[in-house]
Amino acid sequence: MDPYLKDKDDDEESEDSDDMTINPTDSVIVCARNEDDVSQLEIWLYVESEDGESNVYVHHDVIISSFPLCTAWLDCPLKGGDKGNFIAVGLMDEPSIEIWDLDIIDEVQPCVVLGGIAEMKKKKGKKASIKYKEGSHRDSVLGLAWNKFYRNVLASASADKQVKIWDVATGKCTITMEHHTDKVQAVAWNHFAHQVLLSGSFDHSVVLKDGRASSHSGYKWTVTADVESLAWDPHTEHSFVVSLEDGTVKGFDIRAATSSSTSESKPSFTLHAHDKAVCAISYNPSAPNLLATGSTDKMVKLWDVSNNQPSCISSRNPKAGAVFSVSFSEDNPFLLAIGGSKGTLEVWDTSYDAAVAQRFGSYIKKSRTTPGS
């Protein structure tokens, strides 16, 4: 009944409640990480106050079953309503894809599992007999891509050399494609032609396929090293970039493509971006030609790729270790989230970089006046 203690408790409860409230102006960042053999998803909030000060903290986390290799956010309403808030996760040494509901605190199991092992029988002195669920991958899922137009559609890339297209609403695999000869590392849907899918592999190739004609051989580009990541240009339907294990980034125009496997389509540009593998690339959703790259050389770089003549306009070592992931925010387009081997999240507000402001200032002003940014 002590009024001082009561007031103190009320203040603490109010602070806790404020920390758990996600406001429309907050940026939500999902990180997949592993530490001390514990794998988890961390949901971070990037909060910017009226005076321009920013604060980044973990809102809640989710324990997952195995080491996470890739993620894809999706808003398909798996539990009813107009939209959901879900994350699909590909796991190491697991053929399944787990989909978690990010709106539930202390969630203990995924709401949907795509594929996986149905039954495993161990025989004495013999290799275990594994029976997979219908349509499942047979090895780790290395890449995921959600289709923003067909919101129930998810593409997956796997170490089993296959690309699959899933209907997450039914939990079924609808299409399986086997056009690569080695592990498939990345997949990406075109922003304008919504049935068109890119896949990149350790077989040193990138293949474009139309989901409506999956039996067609598609269009193929040969590259010089293992593919690390892919990204379509969100401002034009004809262009994409691919980053490679040898530190280069290549740009291609699909209008120059040929379905002949023996014909070579030259890249629009070749960029020697980093000293080591370029694990991640991200186009700015607001400013055309602004591209971010992240590498195991521990650097993150920003490029102006106008006229297919890339120039580095800014770079930094975010102290994240080897950089595995970079991603511009859709809602706050000059915020760049960075994840690396140190297991910490770094956020770079690139709008305050002098070179970015000089070249893309008009887009920065526009993003700051857009409601919800």
The answer to whether the predicted template modeling score (pTM) of the entire model surpasses 0.75 is yes
Q: What is the mean pLDDT of the chain?
A: 91
For the chain, report the end-to-end CA distance as a whole number of angstroms.
Answer: 45
Band (9; pLDDT cuts 50, 70, 90): low
Q: Give the pLDDT of residue 25.
A: 87
User: What residue type is 322 in one-letter code?
Assistant: A
Give, in order, the Cα–Cα distances in Å from 89 to each of 30, 100, 182, 193, 302.
11, 8, 21, 25, 27
Question: In 10 A of CB 108, how many CB atoms?
Answer: 7
Question: Which region, left, alpha or beta, applies to residue 93 given φ > 0 means left and ψ of -120 to 50 means alpha?
Answer: left
Tell me the percentage of the chain whose pLDDT exceeds 70: 91
Q: Taking residues 180-190, what's their average pLDDT?
A: 98
